[in-house]
Structure 1
Amino acid sequence: MTTPYQLTYQLYYWPNLQGRGEFVRLALEEAGVAYEDVARQKKGMPALQGSLDFDEVDHPAFAPPVLRAGELLIGQTANILLFLGARHGLAPRAEAGRLWANQLQLTIADIVNEAHDTHHPLSTNLYYEDQQKAANVRAQDFVAERIPKFLGYFEQVLANNRGRGAYAVGSRLSYVDLSLFQLMAGLRYAFPNAMARQEHGWPRLVALHDAVAARPRIAAYLASKRRIPFNEDGIFRRYPELDG
């Protein structure tokens, strides 16, 4: 019998952004499973909007990303990765390990939210230029205090897993490692000067980033047109004045 995860997945996310959808794309690419990036296809935006509409689906998400797997419609990045990890060998089999992976993914979501708020500290409904003074203050704190606190934590997670491989959870690659790669890539894009000064303090994270980038399926994805470039409409944005 065909199970949902043997079907072609449908990913609903904004067509020109990496954003939170990129964490899901990386897992799908590493798993080597078929998926459609729906909103990037012709007439895909109405389908994306439908995944958020109470009139069209029973359990609409508040916002993308959303993943359709057969009859399942799953929202929230960490929730989607919890689902994919269990079905495609990207998470531990034991319950304790799966919960630990989910906990780490939720912590990654916290720093991703804070990275977004460096350029939109007052309101998502205002342009960056309308809140640049507040953004300068927020970004200075993020660079000086929050990046070291979060990445120092993840560095220790990797250190504590020594002897079980160079991974965050268990003895093999998980979706957490893919997400840490994306986090490092995004921070390097948005804050190249700050990261260049600081990342010598996180050698395991740097090594993990490089190891993930070199994995055959991920390397092929990064070199393909499926990988949307970082840009100033996404979560990680490069504004030189914020890169203290």
Structure 2
Amino acid sequence: MIVQNILQGLIWFLVPVSMIICCDIMSYIFGFFFGKTPLIKISPKKTWEGFIGGAFSTIIFGLLLSNALIDRPYFICPVESYNEEGNNCTFPPAFVETDYTIPRPLHAIYKVIRKDPVVHMKPFLLHSVIMALFASIIGPFGGFFASGFKRAFKIKDFGDIIPGHGGLMDRFDCQLLMGTFVNIYIQTFIRIPNWNKIVQQILWLPVEDQLNIYRVLHRELGNAGALEFVNAGAL
């Protein structure tokens, strides 16, 4: 899953991972200073104040981080767009500025800020909000499940690799849930066919398989009349 996210663009890996870290830290801080209302019996130290504070902090942090990385090709271009000549990347649709019309019920509120009811923004910022909501609302349940698992076996931590934090599983229980969500989200809403990646996969095949693909493509393109344009120099 991590490899697939990196292939889509490093930003799809860095932002979700950072959101979980932010949520974990800010939930602890808000819970430590303001926590009074217990959230769940499985993990008695968790509070509603920490949960809500971590959620708001994660959304704001996610938007700030996304905005900082959203124009940098090295973070948003897929790995296959790089070759010996450098970066040959056309920005994916998620990183191209798009116009969004404000819903009519919000027109009156929005006109106080500006007259034009159209917002110009890059879709990834909306994706970032969705990932932040998952990281702060659903993501912590990975930690709750891990807490219940440890209590069932009467252990405090999964290990002692990181002093004061337990084993690696104690740091990655929420990351596993977040990684699964981001992978499914990309596969469902983001991923589009990429001819660069297809060509790269073809070049990994044995020569005989490459020739078979060439023959099939040549036949199908000939039947479609596309080769006539190629021979005429149109492409």
The interval holding the TM-score normalised by the smaller chain is under 0.3
TM-score, scaled to structure 2 = 0.25
TM-score, scaled to structure 1 = 0.25
